[in-house]
């Protein structure tokens, strides 16, 4: 029972939720050991999820379909969650600060909860339709989601920054990274996400050119990814050239992530186009 991908993956939802709660407790009650437990839980969740994804890959071969688990809404949500945790763990390791976990693990847990429990999202393994049969599938999805996940975390940092700007010197908020550090981190995470979003758009263009003969066709998904690209381009230019810092960038980070969410879900649910295989059925 334990060794089926869907069991492992739905288990992950709760592990990440638990990790989020642990990070929150560590933050609110200042118990370092609980924070360590949070990291431990996140690590375990990440391992379980990795195993789940790999197992799903194997299961698709057993069913005779044989493709990477990156082909529909369910699989993309799982991957988004996985990628977010990966980026977060990297940041935690680099910064030695667990407070960002309070604002990152919930995104991963929410994505998993939505994937596992929404009646709109079907978790059965489906065969690949001809349009998706390409080596570009993995490159395109991985790069796009590296971008999305970075933006999710940058959005979390934006929220932290805005909370911090209340300027309490004591209490909860003093345990957040300093505003100066948060500002720089947010900027770097946005730039990192921007880089990967660009790579994602480029790999998508190369793929589209191979499958349909046009590298750009103003399909809603493409257009919305470009809109998202513009929002983050504004944030980067405003900072590089006009010297915008802090609050304004934090707001842009949040607006940018709303645009990411719309690119990801809104387009699938509300608009139709070439990316309709990502849509709920």
Partner 1 sequence: MTIPTSSHPVSGNSKKPFWHILTSVRLAISLFILLAITSIIGTLIPQGESLHLYLEKYGPSMFQVIKVARLHDMYNSWWFIALLLLFAVNLVACTINRFPIISQLYKKDTSLQAVERLLKMPHSFVLSLPSAASFSKEDVNKILPAPVLSYDVENGRLFFKESGKWSYWGVYILHTSILIILAGALIGAIWGFKGQIMLAEGEKVSEAVERFTGKDFPLGFELYCEKFFVDFYDTGAPKEFRSDLVIFESGKEVLRKSIRVNEPLSYHGLTFYQSSYDAMPLITFTITSADGKKKVLSLPVSEKISWQEAGLSVGVMQFLPNIHGGQAAHVWIGDDGFPPEAIWFLKGAEKEFRRGNNIYKASITDVEQRYMTGLQVKKDPGVWVVWLGCAGMLLGFGVVFWVAHRRIWLWVGERNGRPTLILAGRTNKNNMQFERFFDEMEQKIRTMTGVKI
Q: Which is nearer to partner 1, 103 or 262 (CB)?
A: 262
Work out which of 162, 234, 261, 279 binds partner 1, going by CB under 8 A.
234
- Decide if residue 130 touches partner 1 (CB under 8 A): yes
Minimum CB separation of residue 231 from partner 1 in Å reads 7
Minimum CB separation of residue 195 from partner 1 in Å reads 5
Minimum CB separation of residue 82 from partner 1 in Å reads 24
- Decide if residue 237 touches partner 1 (CB under 8 A): yes
Q: Give the distance between the most distant pair of CA atoms in the chain.
A: 60
Minimum CB separation of residue 60 from partner 1 in Å reads 12
Binding mask 133-162 for partner 1 (x = CB under 8 A): xx-x--------------------------
- Decide if residue 129 touches partner 1 (CB under 8 A): yes
- Decide if residue 68 touches partner 1 (CB under 8 A): no
Euclidean distance between CA atoms 153 and 205, whole angstroms: 26
Euclidean distance between CA atoms 31 and 8, whole angstroms: 29
The whole-angstrom distance between residue 85's C-alpha and the CA centroid of its chain comes to: 8
Q: Which is nearer to partner 1, 24 or 99 (CB)?
A: 99
- Decide if residue 191 touches partner 1 (CB under 8 A): yes
Which residues of the shown chain bind partner 1 in the complex (CB under 8 A)? 65, 126-127, 129-131, 133-134, 136, 181, 184-185, 188, 191-192, 194-195, 198-199, 202, 205-207, 209-216, 218, 220, 223-224, 226-227, 230-231, 233-234, 237-238, 240-243, 267, 271
């Amino acid at each position: 029972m334990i060794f089926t991908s869907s069991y492992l993956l739905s288990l992950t939802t709760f592990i990440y939720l638990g990790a989020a709660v642990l990070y929150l407790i560590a933050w609110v009650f200042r118990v370092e050991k609980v924070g360590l437990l949070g990291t431990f839980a996140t690590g375990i969740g990440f391992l379980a999820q990795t195993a789940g994804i790999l197992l799903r890959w194997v299961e698709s071969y057993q069913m005779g379909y044989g493709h990477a688990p990156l082909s529909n809404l369910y699989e993309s949500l799982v991957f988004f969650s996985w990628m977010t945790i990966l980026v977060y763990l990297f940041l935690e390791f680099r910064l030695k600060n667990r407070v960002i976990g309070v604002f990152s693990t919930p995104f991963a847990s929410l994505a998993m909860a939505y994937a596992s429990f929404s009646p709109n999202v079907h978790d059965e393994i489906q065969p690949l339709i001809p349009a998706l049969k390409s080596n570009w599938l993995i490159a395109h999805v991985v790069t796009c989601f590296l971008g999305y996940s970075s933006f999710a975390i940058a959005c979390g940092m934006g929220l932290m920054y805005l909370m911090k700007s209340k300027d309490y010197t004591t209490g909860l908020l003093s345990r957040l990274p300093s505003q100066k550090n948060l500002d720089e981190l947010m900027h770097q995470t946005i730039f990192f996400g921007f880089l990967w979003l660009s790579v994602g758009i480029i790999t998508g263009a190369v793929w589209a050119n191979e499958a349909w003969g046009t590298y750009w066709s103003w399909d809603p998904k493409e257009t919305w990814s470009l809109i998202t690209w513009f929002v983050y381009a504004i944030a980067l230019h405003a900072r590089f050239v006009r010297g915008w810092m802090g609050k304004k960038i934090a707001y842009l980070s949040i607006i940018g992530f709303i645009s990411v969410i719309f690119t990801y879900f809104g387009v699938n649910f509300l608009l139709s186009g070439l990316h309709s295989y990502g849509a709920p059925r």
